[in-house]
Structure 1
Amino acid sequence: MCRNIRVLHNFEPPATDDEIEAAAIQYVRKVSGATLPSAANEEAFDEAVRVVTAATRTLLDSLVTKAPPRDREVEAAKAKARAAERYGPRGSTSA
């Protein structure tokens, strides 16, 4: 239904408003069980996304860490390496 929600804290540059809203949409989709709300539920869905987006921004702005900021490209490379180890290289087929 939706991709995993990604860690947004402690990156340089910080998470963008678009990334935070995308995470909120993913969360609301998962909780509601719907990728797209019906017309009857669209207003409630949109309000939930707005509230979760605001709460996520408040959380990210309030968190404190002593760890150095993570690099998005380095973290993406680590995730690809973990996936390749777990699932094998892309495009390979087993007989």
Structure 2
Amino acid sequence: MVNLKNLTCTIVEPCDKCTESYSREVFVPKYQAKFQIQIDPEDDEDDETYLIENENIDIQEMILNAVRLEEPFSKLCTNCTKDSLDTDEDDEDEYESF
């Protein structure tokens, strides 16, 4: 069993809205996975099981999966996030008039 705790990384990628490149921090508080020498294809109990190859544990795929689980649905830069929040506030004002 391999445990990750308090993993932080910075990702640089394009904004989903304006496509400008921006960086954001991703924090993984806890993630756990199992490594085995041989994986039984009939054993579907644990999707987080990785294969040990050549007596080495390669945690790269494990880290990628841990980060993916913590990613937001919409990946917006600071400007687009601010614009989105401003729009949400305007929408709330419209509903308050009812």
Q: TM-score, normalised by structure 2?
A: 0.27
Bigger CA radius of gyration: 2
The structure whose RCO (Cα within 8 Å, separation 6+) is larger is: 1
Task: Report which of the two has the higher share of strand.
Answer: 2
Q: TM-score, normalised by structure 1?
A: 0.28
Task: Report which of the two has the higher share of helix.
Answer: 1
